[in-house]
Structure 1
Amino acid sequence: MTITPQLVATYPIPDRGNGAQTCLDPTGPVPRFEVRSARSLRIYELQEQAELLAEFPAPNPNPWGRQWTAPDLSFTVFATEEAYVAVTRDGTRLWSRPYGTWEAHRWGDVDFSGGSSADGSAGGGSPAGGSSVGGSDRDLRIWLRMPSGLPDATRILTLDAAGTVLGESLLPCGGYERYVSLLWDENDEVAGVSVSGEGVAQTHYEARWESGALVLGRQVPQQQGAQLPGDRYYLGIDSTNTRCMTADRRGRDLTWHSLPDYRVTATLALSDFPAPGTGDCSVHNAPYISSRSGFVDDDTVIVTLSNTYDEAAVLRFGEDRWREHSHWLADPATGAVHGRLEYPMREVDNVMPVGDGTWITEEWEALYRWRR
Structure 2
Amino acid sequence: MSITSLSITAHLRDSVPLPGGAALVDGFALERRGGGSRRALLRHGRELEVYDLDELFAGERAPAAVFPVPRPEWERGGPSVSPDGSFAVFADQRAVRAVARDGSTLWEHPHDCWGFGGFHPHTGDEREPCPGPEHGSCRISDDGRLVWAHIASASAARNCREHWVVLNAGDGGELARLPLRSESSGSFQLSHPDGAHVGLGIGMGQDGVLLHWARWDGAELRSWGVNQELDRILADVHPGHPGFLTVEHGGADLRLHALDGTVLAERTPEQDEDEDPPCWDHGCGFVDADTVIASTLDSDGAPERARHWLLDARTLEIRGTVDYPDGPVDSYVRPLGDGTWLTYDDAYGTLDRWSTTEE
Instruction: Please say whether Structure 1 and Structure 2 have the same fold, judged by a TM-score greater than 0.5.
Output: yes
Closer, same or farther: CA 276–293 of 1 in aligned 2, 3 Å: farther
Closer, same or farther: CA 344–22 of 1 in aligned 2, 3 Å: farther
1:369 aligns with 2:353: yes
1:236 aligns with 2:236: yes
Deviation at 1:70, TM superposition (A): 2.4
Deviation at 1:38, TM superposition (A): 0.5
1:152 aligns with 2:160: yes
Structure 2 unmatched ranges of 5 or more:
1-5, 116-128
1:75 aligns with 2:83: no
Q: What CA distance in whole angstroms lies between the structure 1 residues aligned with 2:274 and 2:85?
A: 48
1:302 aligns with 2:293: yes
Q: What CA distance in whole angstroms lies between the structure 2 residues aligned with 1:168 and 1:334?
A: 39
Aligned pairs for 1:132-171 within 5 A: 133=145, 142=147, 146-150=151-155, 151-152=159-160, 154=163, 156=165, 158-159=167-168, 161=170, 163=171, 166-167=173-174, 171=177
What letter matches 2:44 in structure 1?
S
8 A contact 2:91–2:137 mirrored in 1: no
Equivalent residue number for residue 138 of structure 1: none
* Aligned with residue 37 of structure 1, among 13, 32, 44: 44
1:6 aligns with 2:14: no
TM-score, scaled relative to structure 2: 0.67
What letter matches 1:360 in structure 2?
L
Closer, same or farther: CA 370–57 of 1 in aligned 2, 3 Å: same
Q: Structure 1, residues 209-258: CA drift from partner, whole Å, max 9, x if none? A: 55xxxx667x76x9xxx877544444334433246444344433334456
Secondary structure of the equivalent of 2:353?
Answer: strand
8 A contact 1:26–1:353 mirrored in 2: no
Q: What CA distance in whole angstroms lies between the structure 2 residues aligned with 1:195 and 1:332?
A: 21
Deviation at 1:341, TM superposition (A): 1.6
8 A contact 1:157–1:167 mirrored in 2: yes
Aligned pairs for 1:1-372 within 5 A: 1-14=6-19, 23-28=29-34, 29-47=36-54, 48-49=57-58, 51=60, 52-66=63-77, 67-103=79-115, 106-112=134-140, 122-123=143-144, 133=145, 142=147, 146-150=151-155, 151-152=159-160, 154=163, 156=165, 158-159=167-168, 161=170, 163=171, 166-167=173-174, 171=177, 173-174=179-180, 177=183, 198=204, 199=208, 202=211, 209=218, 229-242=229-242, 244-257=244-257, 262-265=262-265, 267-271=266-270, 273-276=271-274, 287-308=278-299, 322-323=304-305, 325-345=306-326, 347-364=329-346, 365-372=349-356
Structure 1 unmatched ranges of 5 or more:
124-132, 134-140, 278-284
Q: Structure 1, residues 33-91: CA drift from partner, whole Å, max 9, x if none? A: 12111131111111233643211122244243232222321122233444433322122
8 A contact 1:292–1:304 mirrored in 2: yes
Q: What CA distance in whole angstroms lies between the structure 2 residues aligned with 1:101 and 1:341?
A: 45
8 A contact 1:182–1:193 mirrored in 2: yes
8 A contact 1:192–1:204 mirrored in 2: yes
Secondary structure of the equivalent of 2:160?
Answer: coil
Closer, same or farther: CA 274–257 of 1 in aligned 2, 3 Å: farther
Percent identity, aligned pairs only, is 27
Q: What CA distance in whole angstroms lies between the structure 1 residues aligned with 2:341 and 2:13?
A: 10
Deviation at 1:10, TM superposition (A): 1.2
Q: What CA distance in whole angstroms lies between the structure 1 residues aligned with 2:310 and 2:319?
A: 5
Query: Relative contact order: is structure 1 or structure 2 higher (C-alpha 8 Å, sep ≥ 6)?
Result: 2
TM-score, scaled relative to structure 1: 0.65
Query: Which has the higher Rg, Structure 1 or Structure 2?
Result: 1
How many residue pairs match? The answer is: 313
Closer, same or farther: CA 167–296 of 1 in aligned 2, 3 Å: closer
Closer, same or farther: CA 96–244 of 1 in aligned 2, 3 Å: closer
Q: Structure 1, residues 133-171: CA drift from partner, whole Å, max 9, x if none? A: 5xxxxxxx556555433332648484563x4x64576x5
Q: What CA distance in whole angstroms lies between the structure 2 residues aligned with 1:231 and 1:289?
A: 14
Closer, same or farther: CA 209–42 of 1 in aligned 2, 3 Å: same
Closer, same or farther: CA 46–155 of 1 in aligned 2, 3 Å: closer
Q: What CA distance in whole angstroms lies between the structure 1 residues aligned with 2:17 and 2:260?
A: 40
What letter matches 1:299 in structure 2?
D
8 A contact 2:193–2:237 mirrored in 1: no
